[in-house]
Amino acid sequence: MPARPLGFAAELAPLADHLAATTDLGRRRSPFLGSIVDDRTAITARFLSPMALHYLLSLESLEEPEDRLISVIGDELDDLCDQPGYPFIRQLVVTGVLPSKQIEYNGVCLRPLTRRERGLVYRSQGFTFTSPDREFDDLILATGPDASVPASLLSIRTIKNSLDERVDDALPSRLALAFLLKDYEIGSTGHLSYDHLPRWASFGFAGREHFPRGVEHTSLRNVPIAEGEFREVVDLAISIPRFGGHEGSAEEIVLFRALRGLGRAQTESAFLDLAIALEAALLRGSRTELAYKFRLYGALFLESEMPSEWTFRALKRIYDVRSKLVHGGSVSEEDRIAATRDANQILKMTIVKALSDGWPNPKSLDECALSAPPECPPVSD
C-alpha cells in the first residue's frame, strides 16, 4: 500500500476500518493517490498516515506521549469527518483594523493577533538593519519593509468537494475593497497564505500568493471595528461582483480601478485610477459631451447622498485635473490633492449606491435631467 514505507498500516488498521464504515472519508475525491479504490487504503494513505507522522514529528521525545496534542488531533479528525468535503482556509495578516475579540460571519473571521504572532510576523518580514557591503561600498542594500504594525488576522474558510477544486479567488480582493469602501484603511504586511484543514491531511503544505492585488499601503493606525460593522463589511463584499485585472466589463473596470486607487500607498498615483473608475461608472456607453455628462450624471445619481451642486463642481475639477494629467498639462499640487480627495469620496458613494440600487443608467439620468424640479434639482457650472 502507498503508506507502507511509513510502517503504520497495522497500527492504524482498526481506526481505518472504523472510519471506512462510519464516514465518507474513503470516497472523497482527491488528486493525491487518486487511483486508490479501496476505502480503507484511501483513508490510511490520505489521512491517517499523515496524521500519525504529524504527531510523531511534533513530539519532543518518542519516550512519552503528548496527551494535549492527541486531544487536538482527535478534535481535528472529528471536524474533518463531520464536514462534507475538505475544509480550506486562506489567511491574511492586515493592518488598519482591530477587533476587540474574534468575530466570525459567513465563513470570514477577523481576530487580533497575539503578541507572539505579531513577533513572528515581524521576524518573517525581515525587520533588520543592514550596512553597506564591505567589498562593494557603492551597493545600497534594502533595510526591510516600513514600520507598519500588524494587528489582525483575516481568515476565509471554505469547504471544497475535492482537493483540486478551485475556490472563489476573487473574494479576498472583494473583502479588501469592501473595507476600503467602508473607510477602513486596510493594508497588508505580507502574502495571502492558504492550506487545507487539518494541516496534516493529504500531507498538506501551506501555499501563498501575492496579495492584496492593488492594495499597497499599510496603516500605522489600527481602527477598532465592532461585530455589527464587520458584518456590514462582509455583506458588502459578498454583494460585490467578481472582478479582476482583465477588466472585461464596465463594472469590472470600476471595481478593479477602485481597489487600486483606494489602496494606493501614494496619492499621486492613485488619482488616475480613481478618475478612470468614476468615468467607467458614470459614462457607460456615452460618446459625446463627456465632460458635461460626467458632472451631470454624477450629481443626479448621488443627489440623495450629497448636495448636487457640490458634486457637480467636484466632478468638474476631477475631470479637468484628469484631462490635464493625461494630455501633459501642468497641475498644481493643491489641485491634485483636492481632486484626489473628492474622487475618493465620490467613488466610494457611487459604488456603494450602485451595489444597492443598480449602476448609473445614462438613459434614465437623461430623462431625470429633463424632468421638472423638485425631482431633479438643477445644478450650475
Q: Quick: pLDDT tens for 133-148.
A: 555 555 554 555 555 6
So what's the pLDDT on residue 189? Answer: 65
CA dihedral sign of residues 348, 351, 354, 355: negative
**For residue 204, pLDDT beyond 60:** no
User: What are residue 8's phi and psi, to 5 degrees?
Assistant: -110, 5
- Residue 259: CB atoms within 10 A of its CB come to 25
CB 90 within 8 A of CB 156: yes
Residue 148 near residue 140, CB atoms below 8 Å = no
Contact at 8 Å (CB) between 40 and 20?
A: yes
Residues pairing with 156 in the sheet: 90, 108
The CA angle 312-353-315, to the nearest 5 degrees, is: 20
Q: Is the pLDDT of residue 217 over 70?
A: no
Q: How far apart are CA 268 and CA 287, in angstroms?
A: 28
Question: At 226, phi and psi to the nearest 5?
Answer: -90, 165
pLDDT in tens, 234-262: 999 999 999 988 888 999 999 999 999 99
Q: Residue 113: its pLDDT value, please?
A: 93
pLDDT given at position 127:
54
Residue 267 confidence (pLDDT) above 70: no
